[in-house]
A and B are shown apart, each in its own frame.
Chain A
Amino acid sequence: MALLQISEPGQAPDPHQRRIAVGIDLGTTNSLVAAVRHGVAECLPDEQGRILLPSAVHYPEAGSRRIGHEALAAQAHDAAHAVASFKRLMGRRRADVAGVDKLPYELVDQPGMVAVATRAGLKSPVELSAEILATLRQRAEDSFDSELHGAVITVPAYFDDAQRQATKDAAELAGLNVLRLISEPTAAAVAYGLDHGSEGLYAVYDLGGGTFDISLLRLTKGVFEVVATGGDAALGGDDIDHAVADWALAQADVDATTLNPQDRRSALIAARATKEALSDAATTEWRATVAGRDLRVAVGRAQLDAVATPLVERTLLAVRKVLRDAKVAADEVQGVVMVGGSTRMPLVRERVSALFGRPVLTDVNPDEVVAIGAAIQANALAGNAKDGELLLLDVIALSLGLETMGGLVERVIERNSTIPVAKAQDFTTFKDGQTAMAIHVVQGERELVADCRSLARFELRGIPPMAAGAARIRVTFQVDADGLLNVSARELGSGVEASVAVKPSYGLADEQIAQMLKDGFAHAEGDMAARKLREARVEAERMLLATRAALAADGALIDAAERQAIEALLQATESTARGDDADAIDAAVKALAEGTEGFAAARMNEGIRRALAGRSLDQI
């Protein structure tokens, strides 16, 4: 009797078949998806040939939504329910959002993260971002007529742990396997560096719709290393739009604070058009219909520059700080890469060129460069690139620490530390017989806990009762290559593993995400159980392929007994994956991972030996 062969659509049984991986630029204003096709990275267009997907979602009525260009168009007549620039809300509470009263839509605080009040209910920025990601995923799958292996998603270098975690949650909702989160400036450098093949020190000045990033990178033989990074997560082209709108309204003798959301949005749309027009023309007209009146204000470049200068100056402060952090002079930078639509402004180009003492580099399309870089990295991570020439060594942008007595911060990992990184800090009890300890993890550069971002609160319980000061509790911080933090705590002296309960101070708990999926988040395919099973099988398939390939390449490193044990685990995983029990499949995959650790360690040692072959200890 023939056994049924179970294979997922698009899942290649042949390990040599290319895996489709994409790069996604999830921007404040626009989002893009790109992929490497026939060896070239290119942005993928929609059916109408448009590459940019406006990061906007509109709820015309409860139960329906529009995404992208249609949503953007809806801003003109239904601003309160057409949400844009929600990237600024990721991982944030209402109090954190700058200019909250000027926004055309209403924000409401929810436990952990702010939400937007729409006629379709409260929408978290995570859900809104997931709509964009799911749309781009669909676009990619249609382009390739195949399922995606995974995606690299870009985030501003200055995004903290809460914002990054929110981005990953959005990807999970959209059904995307995140291969890596990389910072936007690094992605731009990858696209640019490989385009021009030039080694040396580069600055990436990234002024997008909502965020400003400045990064210094060194390129050497295909290794991109971030030397220092800085910026402002709440400063971007949108702020210039707001400033221009305020100025124009004042010129027209209109009190900006009296406007309804619709009129506010009209003023902003006109301001953006004015700003863009003045990149090429010397004068233009700001035109908006506000409070029933047709307003017109003449605007020249001089006026725009005057309005925008304070904001541009703020970016230059951040640039100077990063140069100091890196202990590098402005003239040591060989090239300045401009990224983001707002860098088209002549004022921005002039001021940045002046600071670095050389004309900025503008030949790469500032809208596409980040997605292109992400696609190149995604291609490499999927195992498609030959011999891995590309390596990104990134840093953590913000320091991580713990709360100590008096509401002060004890820094454990300094900003600009290369990731992945791990550091441990030892603590002790302050009362006799103390059996639990509260640990508060924060992120930021300030001295006081109150001025930093709260990431998580720990409770380490089950400490054996001892005299005060006798216990030794080791708290370990580990930041992975995505810039995400894992904290663990252990009581050393007694050798007793104590249990740890982590309560995230922000963001969505697993149950909340599960709830969103159940409530029929728009792009959730089929029901949750089917999806869980599918994902478990895909993961099992990956693990099986990877392990078999490893045995084929390096089987000689282990003895027959170990090999047999691994083969048994492979068989178990394979047969479990044919069944319907997602939890059993996950358990089998976990057992396989644990059972191959020894083999993986041996392969690593062999890999290092091979990489360093030819070098001797005495060679200096």
Chain B
Amino acid sequence: MNLSDDDFTLFGLPPRQRLDRAALDARRRELQAATHPDRFAAEGAAAQRIAMQWSVRVNEAWQRLKDPLSRASYLCEQRGVPINAENNTAMPRTFLMQQMGWREALDDAADAAAVQALDDTVAAEERAMHAQLVALLDEQGDTAAAAALVRALMFVTRFREALSQRLERLLSA
């Protein structure tokens, strides 16, 4: 096992989008049990430094693999098609129209119930897009299309955060 191993190798998981979350979490517990700095509290500075490096790496890989979007980005990168969101800003027109429509709906939303209803719609679309990601990456092997879908999903996820923040404000008022 190497610090330079990729995330999937580190976690003993097949490099694909579909993931067994329970297996991921169980492996993380095992790895942290072996590498956490607390395990080496009585072992001196060298052991602590190494433990720190490993523990940080384990957390980084776990964080990246457990979120479906970051996992897909990572997979595309591993397969030679980095996401490169800053340089690939062109989006299909229908998609842009949908985004604008949602933004307007959020602006017009009068209360928490309206925002929640909008969030439900967007969440359903987000789920469908994630299902499509699995198909593109695991079944069709179409990395380029997957990368484009990841970029689109980044918009959708950001919009859901905006919805969440608005809900938060309305609920704490």
Chain A residues within CB distance 8 Å of chain B: 19, 179-180, 220-221, 223, 317, 320-321, 324, 380-383, 388, 391-393, 417-422, 478, 480-481, 542-543, 546-547, 549-550, 589-590, 592-594, 596-597, 599-601, 603-605, 607-612, 615-617, 619-620
Main secondary structure of the interface of B (DSSP, over half): helix
Is there contact, CB below 8 Å, between A388 and B39? Answer: yes
Tell me if B63 is interfacial: C-beta within 8 Å of chain A.
Answer: yes
Per-residue interface assignment for chain B, residues 30 to 64, with 1 indicating a CB less than 8 Å from any chain A CB and 0 otherwise = 11111111110111111101111011100110110
Number of A-B residue pairs having CB atoms within 8 Å of each other in the complex: 130
What is the minimal beta-carbon distance from B68 to any residue of chain A, in angstroms? 13
Is there contact, CB below 8 Å, between B47 and A420? Answer: no
Complex: how many Å from CA A47 to CA B150?
66
Is there contact, CB below 8 Å, between B37 and A481? Answer: yes
Chain A minimum-CB-distance residue to B54: A604
Is there contact, CB below 8 Å, between B32 and A620? Answer: no
What is the minimal beta-carbon distance from A43 to any residue of chain B, in angstroms? 23
Chain B residues within CB distance 8 Å of chain A: 1, 9, 12-14, 20, 23, 27, 29-39, 41-47, 49-52, 54-56, 59-60, 62-63, 164, 168, 171-172
Complex: how many Å from CA A481 to CA B52?
9
Is there contact, CB below 8 Å, between A600 and B50? Answer: yes
Is there contact, CB below 8 Å, between B56 and A421? Answer: yes
Is there contact, CB below 8 Å, between B168 and A321? Answer: yes
Contacts of A547 in B (CB 8 A): 44
Contacts of B49 in A (CB 8 A): 593, 597, 600
Contacts of B42 in A (CB 8 A): 19, 381-383, 542, 546
Is there contact, CB below 8 Å, between B38 and A381? Answer: yes
Is there contact, CB below 8 Å, between B36 and A608? Answer: no
Chain A minimum-CB-distance residue to B42: A383
Complex: how many Å from CA A421 to CA B44?
20
Is there contact, CB below 8 Å, between B56 and A603? Answer: no
Complex: how many Å from CA A422 to CA B37?
14
Chain B minimum-CB-distance residue to A603: B47
Is there contact, CB below 8 Å, between A600 and B47? Answer: yes
Is there contact, CB below 8 Å, between A594 and B46? Answer: yes
Complex: how many Å from CA A392 to CA B12?
23
Add 5 more A-B contacts to A593-B46, A600-B50, A612-B31 (CB < 8 A).
A391-B36, A550-B44, A604-B34, A609-B1, A615-B30
Q: Choose from B9, B14, B55 the contact partner of A420 (Cβ within 8 Å).
A: B55
Contacts of A615 in B (CB 8 A): 12, 27, 30
Complex: how many Å from CA A86 to CA B32?
36
Known: A418-B62, A620-B20. A596 touches B35 (CB 8 A): no
Is there contact, CB below 8 Å, between B56 and A420? Answer: yes
Chain A minimum-CB-distance residue to B167: A324
Complex: how many Å from CA A304 to CA B37?
47
Contacts of A481 in B (CB 8 A): 36-38, 55
| Most A CB within 10 A of own CB, among B33, B42, B168 | B42
Is there contact, CB below 8 Å, between A620 and B30? Answer: no
Complex: how many Å from CA A26 to CA B43?
27
Is there contact, CB below 8 Å, between A608 and B63? Answer: no
Is there contact, CB below 8 Å, between A180 and B35? Answer: no
Contacts of B9 in A (CB 8 A): 617
Is there contact, CB below 8 Å, between B50 and A601? Answer: yes
Is there contact, CB below 8 Å, between A597 and B46? Answer: yes
What is the minimal beta-carbon distance from B58 to any residue of chain A, in angstroms? 9
Contacts of A393 in B (CB 8 A): 32, 36
Complex: how many Å from CA A430 to CA B120?
43
Complex: how many Å from CA A615 to CA B9?
13
Is there contact, CB below 8 Å, between A597 and B44? Answer: no
Is there contact, CB below 8 Å, between A391 and B32? Answer: yes
Is there contact, CB below 8 Å, between A550 and B38? Answer: no
Contacts of B44 in A (CB 8 A): 542-543, 546-547, 550, 592-593, 596, 600
Complex: how many Å from CA A605 to CA B53?
12
Q: Choose from B30, B41, B51 the contact partner of A611 (Cβ within 8 Å).
A: B30
**Can you identify 10 A-B contacts, CB atoms within 8 angstroms?**
A381-B41, A383-B42, A420-B55, A421-B59, A422-B60, A592-B44, A596-B47, A607-B34, A612-B34, A620-B13
Contacts of A317 in B (CB 8 A): 172
Contacts of B56 in A (CB 8 A): 420-422, 478
Complex: how many Å from CA A419 to CA B27?
17
Chain A minimum-CB-distance residue to B62: A418
Q: Choose from A418, A422, A542, A608 the contact partner of B1 (Cβ within 8 Å).
A: A608
Known: A393-B36, A619-B12. A418 touches B43 (CB 8 A): no
| Most A CB within 10 A of own CB, among B27, B35, B43 | B43
Q: Choose from A392, A480, A619 the contact partner of B52 (Cβ within 8 Å).
A: A480
Is there contact, CB below 8 Å, between B39 and A223? Answer: no
Contacts of B1 in A (CB 8 A): 605, 608-609, 612
Is there contact, CB below 8 Å, between A604 and B38? Answer: no
Q: Choose from B36, B43, B51 the contact partner of A546 (Cβ within 8 Å).
A: B43
Contacts of B63 in A (CB 8 A): 417-418
Contacts of A612 in B (CB 8 A): 1, 12, 30-31, 34
Known: A608-B1, A620-B14. A180 touches B38 (CB 8 A): yes
Q: Choose from A179, A382, A421, A600 the contact partner of B46 (Cβ within 8 Å).
A: A600
Chain B minimum-CB-distance residue to A314: B172
What is the minimal beta-carbon distance from B110 to any residue of chain A, in angstroms? 21
What is the minimal beta-carbon distance from B160 to any residue of chain A, in angstroms? 12
Contacts of B168 in A (CB 8 A): 321, 324
Complex: how many Å from CA A381 to CA B37?
10
Is there contact, CB below 8 Å, between A421 and B60? Answer: yes
Chain B minimum-CB-distance residue to A317: B172
Complex: how many Å from CA A421 to CA B46?
18
